[in-house]
Amino acid sequence: MDAAGRRVPFDAQQVDAPLSRSAVFLTVTIGPTPEQLKTALEVVAGIDDLVKSVGFRDLGANLSCIVGIGSGAWDRLGRSDRPAELHPFAAIAGPKHTAPSTPGDLLFHIRAERPDFCFEFERLLFEQLGDSVEVVDEVNGFRYFDARDLLGFVDGTANPTGRGMADATLIGDEDEAFAGGSYVVVQKYLHDLGTWNAMTTEQQEAVIGRRKADDLELDDTEPQRAHKTLATITDDDGNEFDILRDNMPFGSPAAGEYGTYFIGYTRRLWVIERMLQRMFLGDPPGFHDRILDVSSAVTGATFFVPSLQLLEGIADGLTTS
């Protein structure tokens, strides 16, 4: 194919774009004025054009971006309808650990095989947004060896594949006005690697529920359930409700900061909410996820990811009066 016939491989809002080597997770709030809201929404409405403008420089970089809209921002759109499950992230206060709820009107999940493409996209994004938004959180993630987290375990093994991807992540006829969209939950976790690395490999494997070297599942030690069990939600017949995780490590050795950015896409928001309740409150109650003893959640936010068609019209009808 010649240069004139080439095209950027992924549209904006394409949840099933491949997992990447680099990512930026950007959460912002929109300023209080109607002018700031209109500017921010006009920028996100044109996000696909920005993806193509930057991504065309190297099609092999596989640049993509997904925009999520928070519950508070949705309330400002002046629409009479809303996604059925969209609401603010509900903080969870467990006996020992807490999942906080933090602000967020817009989420930008920027992915590419090259970190310079993430950087350039974000630079141009802020050039367009101007003073319409305020940054709440920015995390630069990276692929760590063979898709491992900084705890040394493979992350995302249970992700859906093939036809199961759409069923797990995209809203269907159950909420027809928002079909093709998705929900996404994000949390930033900071790890205590000193405590973790002082544990034996066998102790670590019991916490995660998988072997460290080859990622094979291990049986739980009842009544304490492993992370992989608490993070798996099933129906009454034992069928799993999959979600798509695109978690990434981040950190700064110089600052002593090591973490995992959790990001989960789902057709059914309640699935991730139940997963987090099991982790923080325990199942059975009192037996919380032992990964939380070394991993502290410091952010928590929920967003609706509109289909590209819906996103492109998101600013229609807005006025600054």
List residues with catalytic annotation: 155
Nearest to 230 by CA among 312, 306, 314, 286: 286
Residue with tokens 């209109």: 38
Identify the three-state secondary structure at position 111: strand
DSSP labels, 58-104? -GGG--EEEEEE-HHHHHTT--S---TT--PPPPEE-SS-EE-----
Q: Can you name the residues that pair with 257 across neighbouring β-strands?
A: 252
Angle (nearest 5°) at CA 313 between 308 and 319:
150
Nearest to 28 by CA among 17, 19, 39: 39
What DSSP character marks residue 57? T
Rounded to whole angstroms, the Cα distance separating 199 from 193 reads: 10
Cβ 233 vs Cβ 239: under 8 Å: no
Rounded to whole angstroms, the Cα distance separating 92 from 279 reads: 10
Q: Would you call the peptide bond into 223 cis, given omega within 30 degrees of 0 as the criterion?
A: yes
What count of residues does the chain have? Answer: 321
